[in-house]
Structure 1
Amino acid sequence: MRVLLTGHQGYLGTVMAPVLRAAGHEVVGLDTGFFADCVLGRLPDDPPGLAVDLRDVTVEQLTGFDAVIHLAALSNDPLGAVDPEITYAINHHASVRLARLAKDAGVQRFLYASTCSVYGAAGDELVTEDAPLRPITPYAESKVRVEDNVAALADDDFTPVFLRNATAFGFSPRLRADIVLNNLVGYAVLTGEVKVLSDGTPWRPLVHAADIADAFAACLTAPVAAINCRAFNIGTEANNLTVADIAKAVVDAVPGSRLSITGESGADPRSYRVDFSAARSALGYHATWTVAAGAEQLSREYTARGLTSDDFFRRFTRLPHLEKLRQTGVLDASMRRISAPPAELPAPS
């Protein structure tokens, strides 16, 4: 299968591309390159790709693909809160436009990276894909809007699938330090403290980046009838943990670290536990990474690759990195590259 992977030079895309290639798919990337240089250790072996803003994709660039996996987004809640309109322009409007163009180009499958944060403040009960959606941030709201708009495009020739990923964790050569487990481990490795700013009580479902990649790979080959216009929660019930429980796993993984729950940011309203059985039933998919194993992996890789404070607080944290690109004239106020000659896509095989 010939697959276009948007966001292939991001945190998840860098893990996903080799998984798809190992499964025998021909992978082509599409990325702005905002985070292409945010690498800890050796530069990854990226697939060929096109350097293009998601808002500027053309139908010609999508012609010849069997599937589009759409990961590219302005990814996280603090970033979305700074400028919600840019978040909606890229994460919502450009994503829906991409799906329409993909359909016009004859793409058969459109796999969309949604999020379990669409459930918002769901409480203690396990939520299924049929639960009410209560997004409480622009980032999560944009995901809900895309699901609604793209679902309307589904027909016998165009199969959208919505993968509601739990909060990602785990090592990627293009690291993110601003997601909960990655952040707690990094801070512990650098300072010896596992620091929780909330009261530690909110529930979080977590899933390893490699398990996310496996879920998308499963959707590429699943029967259309099993996936067409369906949403799937991606993760495992074993990783439904409170923030305090996640922090305790980090203490166990980082030798000599100590736990500090300050509560200075108050109670986080985002709290939800998730049921992941639909993906197991329909896709035969099973997430295998535990939070404990992920914390150990991160601690090991951070230490071996020489993680620094500048890496952790700046290069691998989305908001300060993008602000630096703006301040240095790489991006304009609308989050567009000021100068970036596009590469050409390889011709369809």
Structure 2
Amino acid sequence: MRVLITGHLGYVGPWMIRAFKEAGHHVTGLDVGYFRECVEELDGFTPPDRERVRDVRDVSAADLEDVEAIVHLAALSNDPLGHIDPALTHAINTEASLRLAGLAKSAGIRRFVFASSCSIYGGVGDKGAPADEQATMDPLSAYARSKVDTEAGLAALADRDFEPVFMRNATAFGVSPRMRFDLVVQNLIGWGFTTGVIRVLSDGTPWRPIVHIADMARACVAAVTAPAATVAGQAFNVGRDDNNFRIREIAETVVGKLPSVRLEITGEAGADPRSYRVSFAKAASALPGFQAEWTLDRGCDEIIEWLRAGHLREHDFQSRFFVRLKQLQHLMAERFVDEEIRVRAPA
């Protein structure tokens, strides 16, 4: 199958490309390139068969020629980016996504796999059973609201000829050629490894489900290739039931891996309202051939091994190369992009 992956030059993209190519598919990547330079060479990752440099807001019908399915990753990717300008998050994450979906439907592309997020559950916390796909949504950030709005817009487009699938991914972790340390597992490991101290500014009680990016990629392959009756118009929480943790528990796991590290739960930032446990039973039973494989324990070992191998080199793990908000701020400050983070034409 000929698959278009948007946002392929991000953190998840290299795993997504590899998963689809290993499954025998032809892959086209489409990305504006904000994070192209945030790369660490790793063996085993290959580029897409074709690449289109394009802002997702500017995709045309011509970009969708010879495409049979779309995996839509491109987005302003987490809560801090929403603080730049919530309207910009809406324009890129929702408006551009729905415009792309409309073009895909007009082009006869049936399967549209959308990278949504478990953050849409927001404040579900530990009240009652873990949230399944029918649970009440409680988005508490511009990022989470953009995912809710996009799901609703895609659902309105769905019919017998257009099959959106909503992949509600848990918080991502794991090593990537475009590594990030602004995600909870990596961030805690980064602080512990480089300073010897992990400081949790909340009280440590909020729940976070986590998922390895390799499992995210495998779930998308299953969603693209599954029969329509199995997935069309449906949402799937992507992760493992035993990967629901309180922030304190993630930090304690890291300390167990780095025994010289000291853990401090300061509580100075107050309680974090974003707290949600999630059920992943549906994906495990209904996505053909998919089972999430990566545990927190295994993922911590992978990240620590990456750090011990010296991949940070001269870079601080809190530098723009590993923190998406800082990279966008750098592009703005250097005037590579304008106030709407559109790439400026060369002088």
SS in 2 for 1:28: strand
Aligned partners of 1:122 and 1:265: how far apart in 2? 20
Task: Give the CA deviation at 1:254.
Answer: 2.6
Please provide the CA RMSD for this pair. Answer: 1.3
Pairwise mapping of residues 234-253 of structure 1 onto structure 2 (< 5 A)?
Answer: 234-253=238-257
The question of whether the paired residues in 2 share the 8 Å contact of 1:171 and 1:298 is answered with yes
Q: Which amino acid aligns with 2:241?
A: E
Q: Tell me which residue corresponds to 2:303.
A: 298
Shift of 1:41: 4.1
- Residue matched to 1:51: 53
Alignment correspondent of 2:165: 161
* Structure with the largest fraction of strand: 1
Partners of 1:2 and 1:65 within 8 A in 2? yes
The alignment-based identity, stated in percent, is: 50
Partner Cα distance (1:237, 1:96) in 2:
31
**TM-score, length of structure 2 as denominator length:** 0.95
- Equivalent position of 2:276 in the other structure: 272
Which residue number corresponds to residue 266 of structure 2?
A: 262
Mapped to 2, the partners of 1:339 and 1:34 lie a distance apart of: 14
1:315 is aligned to 321
Q: Which runs of 5+ in 1 are unaligned?
A: 341-349
2:225 is equivalent to residue 224 of structure 1:
no
Residue matched to 1:343? none
1:309/1:258 Cα in 2 relative to 1: closer, same or farther (>3 Å)? farther
Shift of the 56–183 alpha-carbon distance from structure 1 to 2, 3 Å rule, reads: same
| Corresponding position of 2:111 | 109
The number of aligned residues is 340
Which residue identity lines up with residue 319 of structure 1 in the other structure?
L
TM superposition score normalised by structure 1 = 0.95
The structure-2 alpha-carbon separation of the partners of 1:255 and 1:39, relative to structure 1 and needing over 3 Å to count, comes to farther
The structure 2 residue matched to 1:337, chosen from 324, 337, 343, is: 343
Match of 2:292 in 1: 287
* Letter paired with 1:322: L
Match of 2:125 in 1: 123
Cα distance in 1 between the residues matched to 2:172 and 2:178? 13
Partner of 2:326: helix, strand, or coil? helix
Please give the alpha-carbon distance, in whole angstroms, between the structure 2 residues aligned to 1:3 and 1:253: 39
Q: In the TM superposition, what is the alpha-carbon distance from 1:328 to its structure 2 partner?
A: 0.7
Alignment of 1:67-106 (within 5 A): 67-106=69-108
Opposite residue 5 of structure 1, the aligned amino acid is I
Partner SS for 1:123? coil
How far, CA to CA, are the matches of 1:136 and 1:120 in structure 2?
A: 6
Contact 1:32 1:51 in 2 (8 A): yes
C-alpha contact (below 8 Å) 2:190/2:317 kept by paired residues? no
1: CA distance between counterparts of 2:41 and 2:256?
25
State whether structure 2 residue 180 is matched by structure 1 residue 179: no
Matched residue SS, 2:165 = strand
User: 1:215 aligns to what?
Assistant: 219
Q: Tell me how far 1:288 sits from its aligned partner.
A: 1.1
Q: Equivalent residue of 1:263, what SS? A: coil
Shift of 1:188: 1.3
The Cα shift of 1:42 comes to 4.5
1:327 equivalent to 2:338? Answer no
My pick for the range that moved more, 195-204 or 255-264, is 255-264
CA distance in 1, matches of 2:336, 2:275: 36
Residue identity in the other structure for 1:270: R
- Deviation of the 1:255 alpha carbon: 4.6
Say if 1:41 and 1:305, in contact at 8 Å, map to a contact too.
Answer: no
Q: Distance in 1 between matches of 2:41 and 2:3?
A: 27
Report Cα offsets for 1:279-316 as digits up to 9, x if no partner.
12211421111111111110110221332553433211
Measure the CA separation in 2 of the matches of 1:51 and 1:152. 29
Preserved CA contact (<8 Å) 1:63 1:106: no
Equivalent residue letter for 1:180: V
What CA deviation, in whole Å up to 9, does each residue of 1:223-259 have, x standing for no partner?
Answer: 1101010000000110000000000111122352221
Write the distance in 1 (CA, Å) between the matches of 2:345 and 2:197: 41
Query: Partners of 2:195 and 2:14 in 1: how far apart?
Result: 28
2:209 matched to which residue of 1?
205
